[in-house]
Amino acid sequence: MVALSPCNWQRTALRSAYITTGDAQGAQQTLDAIIAAGGAGRLLAFDVANRAQCREVLDNDLAEHGAWYGVVSNAGIARDAAFPALSDDDWDAVIHTNLDSFYNVIQPCMMPMISARRGGRIITLSSVSGVMGNRGQVNYSAAKAGIIGATKALAIELAKRKITVNCIAPGLIDTGMIEMEETAFKEAMSMIPMKRMGQAQEVAGLASYLMSDIAGYVTRQVISINGGML
C-alpha cells in the first residue's frame, strides 16, 4: 500500500479519494494520519478484482457523496514463477488484481467526474517490470505493462476535460511485497546506480505532486522512481 505522508495529505485529502489495497489495519492507520493532518476521509472495503462488488460500493459512495476529484489506483500482488511453471490461478489472480482493477475502480468514477466539470486527477501504479519486463514475472510484467497502455490511452480521452492521467513506475521499493532470496536481491541491487531500495514515502511524494494543482499540465506520463535503473 502506498500512502501520502501526513504533511502532503493536508493539501489534497479534502477533495481526493485514494484506493488502497492491503489489510484493514493499514487502511485505518492511513485514515488516522489524514485526520491528524487536518484532512477528512472514509474507508471503502471491496475487492478490486471483483467487478460487481466494485461497482456496487463505488456507485453507492458516489451517489451519497458526489464525484471524486482524484483516484490513485495502486492495487498490486505478485505470484512469481518461471513461465513454464506458472499456474492458471497465478496468472489469473495477478491479471485480475493488477490490471482488471484499472477498469473496475476507475471506470465507475468517470462519468461523475466528467459531469462535475471541475477537472480531476488519476494516478496509476505500474512497475519497472511493466517497463522492462522481469524474469519470473511474466504475469506481473504483462499486467503492469497493460496499466501503462491504459493510462496513456485514458489520458488522451480526458485531456480536454482537464482531468490528468499519469502513471508512476516504481523500481525496488521497501514494502511488504519484497521477498527475495539473497542472491536475487544482490543481483537486483547491482542494477541500481544508487545502491539502495526506494522508500514508500518517495513514491508518495510524487503522487502528492501529481494530485496537486501545480501538476495541471502534466498528463499521459510514465514517471519512474527506481534509483537510476534504465
Query: Which among 123, 98, 129, 80 has a CA at the least distance from the CA of 229?
Result: 129
Across 74-205, where does the E strand assignment appear?
A: 120-125, 163-170
Q: Is 140 a catalytic residue?
A: yes
H or E, element range at 73: strand 70-73
Candidates 18, 69, 103, 140; catalytic one: 140
Query: Which among 149, 143, 141 has a CA at the least distance from the CA of 165?
Result: 149
Instruction: Give the HSE-up count for residue 136: Cα atoms under 13 Å, Cβ half-sphere.
Output: 6
Residues 80-91 as b/e (b if ≥16 CB within 10 A, e otherwise) read beeeeebeeebb
* All residues at 6 or more sequence positions from 194 whose CB lies less than 8 Å from its CB, including other chains: 227, 228
Q: Which residues are catalytic?
A: 140
